[in-house]
Structure 1
Amino acid sequence: MLSNCSACGKVFMKISKPVCPDCVRKELETVKRIRDYLKPKEKRTAPLAQISRDLDIPIRYIEYLIREKYFDLTRYPSLQYKCKNCDTLITLGEYCRSCSEKLRNNLLAAKEKAEKNEKDNDGSGSHFYKSRL
């Protein structure tokens, strides 16, 4: 299937990733640069800001690479990124445990409210056509 690369906009034959082969190659080169930077033991604990500054790679792009699981976080404990909601440092997913739990509780409450409203409206005759189907 033909698609536009989400990174550079070039048209390419999409197989799995939404980026063209050239951009995938650049992505892998960037991952290699970061791994080479982190190879010495004293650099393994470097924070993202320092890695970004030293290698001139945007922090958001490094966070994207971490989310794409290019790095073994047990080997590189400093590769943490911010929760999308509260900026707590995390190593997995999009949200920290606390925000995930709040989101889950809000969704459950909304579901219960919707089910209660649906149950309350079933006998009122407001769903004339629904009852005829």
Structure 2
Amino acid sequence: MLSNCAACGKVFMKFSKPVCPDCASKELDTAKRIRDYLKQKEKRNAPLIQVSQDLDIPVRYIEYLIRQKYFDLARYPNLQYQCKNCDTLISSGEYCAACAETLRNHLLSVQKDKTKSDKQNDESHENFYRSRL
């Protein structure tokens, strides 16, 4: 399927990633640069901000690479990024546990309200048709 690269906008044949082969290669090179940096014993526990500053790579791009599973976070515990909702540091997913639970509860309540509303609508339609008979 033809698609535009999410990074550079170039048209390419999309198989799995939303980026073209050139940008995918750049992703791999950047991830290798970060891994090489973190292999140094004194830099192994460097926080994400320091890695970003030392290598001149935007924090958001490093977060993207972490989410794409380029790094084993068990080996690099300080490569944490911010929750999309509350800015708490996390090492996997998009949201921290508290925000994920809040979102889950909100979705469940919306689902219950919809089910309740649908049930009331069905009952009102039944009464309408019964009165017509």
TM-score w.r.t. length of structure 1:
0.91
* 1:83–1:95 CA contact under 8 A, matched in 2: yes
Q: 2:49 matched to which residue of 1?
A: 49
Gap change, CA 1:126 and 1:48, over 3 Å in 2: farther
Report the 3-state secondary structure (helix = DSSP H, G, I; strand = E; otherwise coil) of the residue aligned with 2:3.
Answer: strand
TM-score w.r.t. length of structure 2:
0.91
Gap change, CA 1:108 and 1:127, over 3 Å in 2: farther
Gap change, CA 1:108 and 1:52, over 3 Å in 2: same
Q: In the aligned structure 2, how far is the partner of 1:51 from the partner of 1:127?
A: 66
Aligned residues: 129
Give 1:2-13 correspondences, 5 Å limit. Answer: 2-13=2-13
Give 1:1-133 correspondences, 5 Å limit. Answer: 1-125=1-125
* 1:121–1:127 CA contact under 8 A, matched in 2: no
Gap change, CA 1:105 and 1:32, over 3 Å in 2: same
* 1:49–1:59 CA contact under 8 A, matched in 2: yes
How far is the alpha carbon of 1:95 from its aligned partner? 0.3
How far is the alpha carbon of 1:110 from its aligned partner? 0.8
What amino acid sits opposite 1:52 in the alignment? S
Q: In the aligned structure 1, how far is the partner of 2:47 from the partner of 2:91?
A: 13
User: Which runs of 5 or more structure 1 residues have no equivalent in the other structure?
Assistant: 129-133
Higher helix share: 2
Q: In the aligned structure 1, how far is the partner of 2:12 from the partner of 2:123?
A: 55
Q: In the aligned structure 2, how far is the partner of 1:14 from the partner of 1:119?
A: 44
Which piece of structure 1 moves more, 87-96 or 118-127? 118-127
Identity, % of aligned pairs?
A: 71
Cα offsets for 1:34-83 (capped at 9, x unmatched): 00100012211111111111100000000000000000000000110000
Gap change, CA 1:119 and 1:72, over 3 Å in 2: same
Q: In the aligned structure 2, how far is the partner of 1:51 from the partner of 1:120?
A: 56
